[in-house]
Amino acid sequence: MIKTAIILAAGRGTRLRPHLDPELPKGALPLNKISKDKIHTNNAESVIEFSIIQLLQQGIEHIFIGTGHGHEWYENLAKKYPQITCIYNPIFQDSGSMHTLSLIIPHISEDSLLLESDLIYEKRTLRYLLESPTQNGLLSTPYYSFGDEVFIENTEDQLKSMSKTAPDSLEKAQVLAGITKCSLPLLQAMNTFYSSQDSHNIDYEDALVQSSIPVTLLHNSAISIMEIDDAIHLKKAEKTWTTLCLHNATEHHERKYLLNPGPATTSSTVKKAQIIPDICPREEEFNAVMTEICDQINYMSSISPLSLATTLFSGSGTAAVESMISSCISSTEKCLIIDQGAYGKRMQKIAEIHGIPHEIYTPNPLKELPLNTLETLLKSDSFTHLAIVHHETSTGLLNNIHDIGKLSKKYNILLCVDAMSSFGATPIDLIQDNIAFCAASSNKNIQGMAGISFVIAQKEELEALKNKPKKTLYLDLYDQYQYAITQHQCRFTPPVQCMYALREALRELKQEGLKNRYARYQAMWALITNCLVNHGFDYIIDDKVHGKLITSFIIPENSSFSFDDFHSFLYRHHITIYPGKIAEHNTFRIATIGDLNTEDIDHICKIIDNYFSKK
């Protein structure tokens, strides 16, 4: 974790006069020149103090300020903030910013943030740099026509050069923001370059370019940041200040694109639903939240919702699956588990741990389930239960649960379904599809927060569990259900805030409609699949049995493609993808679920196109 920051502040700020006292340095520009509103200044008086306070809030413990003109002002500021050490550049009038930095570097013993003194920026700016996986990162912004920009040329997101000469096309131009994440070796390499030069008039940007260490471009178009160099900047800063204050005051505003199989991207209203006054989960007010959640899920699950009961658990989806398998099948019964991938294998593992008699049927995991073979198995043995994953998350294969339910009913077998990555998108009706028990969770197609899972059951089958031997305390399905309907509470402390988020997510799903949500997901799938197919990737499941929710893409043999490099590139652009989970094939997965739309996918496809255009 970076604990040190360097601020280059030796400049005179002559272009800011008469807005700045000629005796004062540029960083001393009063914030009231930008805004009369003192609410969002953190009690800072000046531009640089605003920056210092944000650095301290992000855990920075030592701030070196390279001073020159008006250095006495900074020394007085250091009396207010003991974390500040001032390093004076006596030849500031005849030297560039790199000379100031060269005086500071001998005092540095660890990785640091390097900042200019005349910046205003929102608080997540520093967090973005500090959390970036790259050791050396140069923050850039789009071209905003502020004036006096430093344009960045890069190759595959690696710094190549910087210049004040604008490129031919400004649409994709990258502009220096004024904050850099520097490893200690990078700072030393910059100093080595500077020491080899005959002139003191060299800026730190020149040394960054000429250092022998690669520097990654960190581009975030959503962040509000600008440099205030002159009176024109000062005027434009009023608008930027308004935007950054709005961002600082608004929770969860940064757009992230989760293309992993869950948790999915959530709406701002779902996130904000968690911000509630503290409440004990034993109160009636909270019980009403859980009741609404269960009712909504029941109504989603059948045209006969009063025949169903939803039981909530604190835990991931696997908690609900383990509750379903361990509670529903006794040691005198027998389950046929269909293994079509990682999540079928997980049910097998659960059965083994709980000593449940079972057999495994392993069809081709990439092909449609042969129902005739399944029927032969069901009538050849005394199975009491059938367990299957509706939508195999590791591949994207979607089983015909309606026809499987018919077979289960024909042979008087109870059907247990893991619908983790299908529920909330694909149509399902527990009564019509003859599903006795169905496990799902809050954080995939429902678009809630992770932390809650549930089992939906036909009430008749749920009540039949009453006298079955208990295999677990926390995950016993019948006891959890009974406690909820008699006490109107969870047996154990639930994740309170996640419950409020789940309620909001279910309300949003009801408003959108299940059919419309699935159509949106499929439209997103078509866009990104076409993009990746155009770049040489094929997907592993045939369209006929593809859920079009989660897709495994095959990495071609003898390909130079690196998933890790692709993942890192996309992650720097706030896009998350997922590695594959098929042992026989080299794949990666992309999910088209969550609070995203086709415009988001178009944006993502352009970034993917950009990645492959540089290969």
pLDDT beyond 90 at 324:
yes
pLDDT at 249 over 90: no
Tokens at 431, concatenated: 């009564």
Asked if 515 and 593 touch (Cβ cutoff 8 Å), the reply is no
Asked if residue 108 lies in contact with residue 186, where contact means CB atoms within 8 angstroms, the answer is: no
- Cβ-contact 264, 593 below 8 angstroms: yes
Same domain, 275 and 244: no
Q: What's the total number of domains in the chain?
A: 3
* Average pLDDT taken over every residue of the chain: 92
Q: Is the pLDDT of residue 447 over 70?
A: yes
SS3 category, 119: strand
Q: What is the residue range of 134's domain?
A: 4-141+176-250
**Does residue 575 sit in the same domain as residue 508?**
no
The whole-number pLDDT of residue 250 equals 58
**Sign of the dihedral defined by the CA atoms of residues 123, 128, 131, 136, in that order:** negative
For the segment 28-43, what is each residue's pLDDT rounded down to a tens digit? 988 888 876 655 666 7
- Residue 60 and residue 97 in one domain: yes
Residue 3 has pLDDT above 80, yes or no: yes
302 and 240 fall within a common domain: no
CA 62 and chain centroid, separation: 30
Convert the pLDDT of each residue in 458-476 to its tens digit: 999 999 999 999 999 999 9
Co-location of 42 and 180 in the same domain: yes
The reply to whether omega before 214 is within 30° of 0 (cis) is no
Q: How far apart are the first and last CA of the chain?
A: 32
The predicted model gives 473-488 an average pLDDT of 95
Query: ∠ CA 65-70-76 to the nearest 5 degrees?
Result: 65
Mean pLDDT of 307-316: 96
Which whole number is the average pLDDT over 99-126? 94
Helix residue spans in 2-110 (DSSP H): 47-57, 71-80, 97-104
Residue pair 44/241 in contact by the 8 Å Cβ criterion: no
Bridge partner residues of 359 (DSSP): 336
Report how far residue 112's alpha carbon sits from residue 181's, in angstroms, rounded to the nearest whole number.
6
- CA dist 346 and 326 (Å) reads 13
Name the phi and psi angles at 161, rounded to 5. Answer: -160, 165
Determine, yes or no, domain membership for 596: yes
> Are 406 and 463 in the same domain?
yes
As a whole number, mean pLDDT of residues 438-442 equals 98
Round to whole Å and give the CA distance between 422 and 386: 18
Q: Quote the pLDDT of residue 253.
A: 52
Whether 587 and 481 map to the same domain: the answer is no
Domain limit, last residue, from 470, 486, 512: 512
Do 504 and 269 meet the contact criterion of CB atoms below 8 Å apart?
A: yes
What pLDDT does 252 receive?
Answer: 45
DSSP one-letter code for 224: -
The backbone torsions φ and ψ at residue 415, rounded to the nearest 5 degrees and listed phi first, read: -95, 125
Residue 19: pLDDT band with limits 50, 70, 90: confident
Q: Which residue has the tokens 């500040």?
A: 84
Percent share of the chain, pLDDT over 90: 73
Per-residue model confidence (pLDDT) at position 557: 87
Backbone angles phi, psi at 346, to 5 degrees: -65, -40
- Whether the per-residue pLDDT at 241 is higher than 90: the answer is no
DSSP reduced 3-state for 70: strand
Which of 512, 532, 564 terminates a domain? The answer is 512
Closest by CA to 419, choosing from 329, 302, 523, is 302
Residues 6+ apart with CB under 8 A from 137: 129, 180, 181, 215, 216, 217, 218
Residues 313 and 226 in one domain: no
CATH number of the domain enclosing 454? 3.40.640.10
Indicate whether 430 and 571 sit together in one domain: no
Asked if 456 and 438 count as a contact pair (C-beta separation under 8 A), the reply is yes
Question: Is residue 110 within a helix (H) or strand (E), and if so which, with residue range?
Answer: none
pLDDT band (50, 70, 90) for residue 255: confident
C-beta of residue 42 within 8 angstroms of C-beta of residue 53: yes
Query: What value does the mean pLDDT take over residues 218-246?
Result: 82
Which tokens hold the place of 538? 């094929």
In a domain, 152, yes or no: no
Residues 429 and 480 both lie in one domain: yes
State what percent of residues in the chain have pLDDT above 70: 98
Q: In this structure, are 453 and 541 located in the same domain?
A: no
What is the per-residue pLDDT across 511-545, written as a single tens digit (0 to 9) for each? 899 999 999 999 999 999 999 999 999 999 999 99
Distance in angstroms (rounded) separating the CA atoms of residues 329 and 358:
10
Task: Please give the average per-residue pLDDT across 311-335, as a whole number.
Answer: 96
Collapsing DSSP states into helix, strand and coil, what is residue 467? Answer: coil
pLDDT, tens digit, for every residue of 278-288? 889 998 889 99
Cβ proximity of 40 and 147 under 8 Å: no
Q: Write down how long the chain is.
A: 615
Do 313 and 374 lie in a common domain?
A: yes
Is the pLDDT at 162 greater than 80? The verdict is: yes
With beta carbons less than 8 A apart as the criterion, state whether 327 and 465 touch.
Answer: yes
The single residue listed with the structure tokens 């835990």 is: 315
Asked if pLDDT for residue 251 goes beyond 50, the answer is no
Q: Is residue 263 part of a domain?
A: no
Name 566's Cβ contacts closer than 8 Å, sequence gap at least 6.
Answer: 577, 588, 611
Residue 363 has pLDDT above 70, yes or no: yes
